[in-house]
Amino acid sequence: MADAIAVLNAGSSSIKFSVFAQAGTDLALAVRGQIESIYTAPRFTAKSATGETISTHAWDQGTRLGHDGALEHIVAFLRDQAEGLSLKGVGHRVVHGGMAYSQPVRVDRKVLQDLEQFIPLAPLHQPHNLTPIRIMLEDRPELPQVACFDTAFHRAQPEVAQMFALPRELHDAGVRRYGFHGLSYEYVASVLPQLDPAAAKGRTVVLHLGNGASMCALSAGCSTASTMGFTAVDGLPMGTRCGALDPGVILYLMDQRGMDARAIEKLIYNESGLLGVSGVSSDMRTLLDSAEPRARLAVDLYVYRIGRELGSLAAALGGLDALVFTGGIGENSAEIRERVCRAAAWLGVVPDGQANRAGEPRISMPASKTAAWVVATNEELMIARHTRRVLG
Ligand code: ADP
């Protein structure tokens, strides 16, 4: 029997899962899948390690399966699949660990209570991340669970990088720049030594460009600055999030438009970014295929903002040795990579158009002073590795 670790990533309307089995000294993917639309029209899919669909199920429109029903289906599926595997524990993606949790942690009732206190800091993610943990603590108390945080990797940042210029009392109360996508950055940092040993020891900016998007400055593999701050709405424009915004805009909306916190939350998290600017879609593929001038403008703004943040992170690093693209857009869109590399010419990036279009790992010319790379992120593997380590 091979030891195995299950990984769960629960959102508001979906639960993604994967199982990793011991393979030599590392872990290898055995199976992965998800249940989507768990409160409206649930659909289950599971795929083998090589990507073949091995199981599907769809519930009737209007079925409210919920997190508990979805989890039950996943557990039953995994029990059927478990032949030859001995499940040692479950690792969970949890967006916020606050200041207290700068490392993955085994969850008990006390830890769960602590993590619930961070719900106001990540209202759209944290409650859903915690739901399966709560259910499993009740139903399967014998199964060890480990929480892995998107914020933890950034706790290594210098103090100034984690501060707002607000009165000290607010900083002490936890109003700080936390940074997110840490599991993705940690994974990229873990593979960088094989790709580019010099950059791994030097100064790298990683661009995680997905529906959520952020950038992180790595110095010798450690996070030194990032574009996301107190919440995951800061920094770059994203699919539907606005990114960095003059706080005066919020005051204006409250005073002049009579908007309350919930209305502003909806605006800046769900109605802005690529969707808000284009009026067409939050999906980069749709925008790149669109002839609509506002779709082009949304993409122009996206690339422009990345270029400016790149300058800021390169300044925080005191120079730049490499750029790494990851996330759905970073891994798949040659056009966005090409445009970002062109905006980074002043930092010594000379893109190799052919390698970029071919989707090669190295997309900069051999003579490029600053290298550019594409790395497929693997947050799930990172969570499985952490879980195995925490559980010894
Ligand atoms: P999430 O943050 O939800 O995990 P992903 O990392 O999967 O999101 O990224 C989703 C984004 O990636 C979408 O905007 C999608 O359009 C974009 N994307 C995926 N494939 C391509 C592609 N071939 N070209 C351009 N964008 C792409």
Spans in the chain with pLDDT lower than 50 = none
Pair 181, 314: CB distance under 8 Å = no
Q: Which of these is catalytic: 114, 150, 246, 260?
A: 150
224 sits in the region (left: phi over 0; alpha: psi -120 to 50; else beta) called alpha
User: What local confidence, expressed as pLDDT, does residue 205 receive?
Assistant: 98
CA of 276 to the centre of ligand 1 (A): 17
Closest residue (by CA) to atom 24 of ligand 1? 333
State how far the alpha carbon of 239 is from the alpha carbons of 96, 243, 264, in Å. Answer: 21, 10, 17
Output the pLDDT for position 1.
Answer: 84
Rounded to whole angstroms, how far apart are CA atoms 270 and 250?
A: 15
> How far is the centre of ligand 1, averaged over its atoms, from the C-alpha of 303 (Å)?
15
Dist CA 237 CA 230 (whole Å)? 16
- Contact yes or no for 202/295 (Cβ under 8 A): no
DSSP per-residue codes, 195-254: H-HHHHHSEEEEEEESSSEEEEEEETTEEEEES--SSTTSSS--SS---S--HHHHHHHH
Enter the pTM of the model.
0.95
Q: Are 46 and 33 in contact (CB under 8 A)?
A: yes
Tokens of 123: 């209202």
DSSP string, 32-65: EEEEE-TTTS-EEEEEETTS-EEEEEEPPTT---
Q: Is there a catalytic annotation at residue 321? A: no
Cα separation, 147 vs 281, in Å, equals 33
Distance 328 CA to ligand 1 centre (A): 3
CA 69/CA 67 separation, integer angstroms: 6
pLDDT at 184: 98
**pLDDT value at position 81?**
83
- The answer for residues whose C-beta is within 8 angstroms of residue 297's C-beta and 6 or more apart is 277, 278
Which residues line the pocket of ligand 1, CB cutoff 6 A?
Answer: 210-212, 239, 283-285, 288, 327-329, 332-333
